[in-house]
Amino acid sequence: MEYLCPKARTEDLVVVGMPDETLVYDLAANEAHCLNKTASFVWARCDGDQTLQDIAKAMEGEYRQAIDVDMIRLAIKQLDDNKLLKEGSIDTYMLPSRRQLIKKIGLASMVALPIVASLAAPKSAMAATSCACVTPGDCLAQTGCASTVNCNGGGICAP
């Protein structure tokens, strides 16, 4: 019996809970992640104290259906792959590949397979602003720059 107790990462994250999913924005990696209801359930219980078996039992109580611990392993694998777990909180060699787990679990489960969908977020709107200038008048229309009245020696609207 394995006693793996994963711990969710909390630093540099902005988390917004929705009724059927959780949106997580990783400030450090500039990536957005969408966790479906199943992945959200698992991630919320990654407190470093609960084993995979504990999380499976909690999910059984919530969904009133038998849950194979491999379902939890699949969620943990995806959370770890997307760096949403604290580094070193799990031994990744204990987690089979996603393909192996899906083959074993199959598609017969009434509970949705855990899914973590991720994408790199675009640079902030301020970073996309040019802030390049030739004369101080060029800075008037560029409100996102450090200065709207000064074109410095480097050709940037800044003090």
What pLDDT, on a 0 to 100 scale, did the predictor assign at position 98?
A: 66
Q: 59 with 90, same domain?
A: yes
Q: 102 with 151, same domain?
A: no
Tell me which residue range forms the domain holding 100.
13-120
Q: 53 with 85, same domain?
A: yes
Q: 92 with 129, same domain?
A: no
* Residue 108 phi, psi dihedral angles, 5° rounding: -85, -10
On whether residue 52 sits in a domain, the answer given is: yes
On whether residue 81 sits in a domain, the answer given is: yes
Q: What is the pTM of this model?
A: 0.68
Mark 141-151 as b/e (b = at least 16 C-beta within 10 Å). Answer: ebeebebeeeb
pLDDT of the chain along its 159 residues, tens only?
456 789 999 999 999 999 889 999 998 888 999 999 999 999 999 999 999 999 999 999 998 988 888 888 888 988 998 999 998 767 655 666 667 766 776 655 556 677 788 777 665 544 444 677 888 888 887 777 878 888 888 788 887
Q: 72 with 134, same domain?
A: no
What pLDDT, on a 0 to 100 scale, did the predictor assign at position 125?
A: 45
What pLDDT, on a 0 to 100 scale, did the predictor assign at position 100?
A: 72
Domain count, the chain: 2
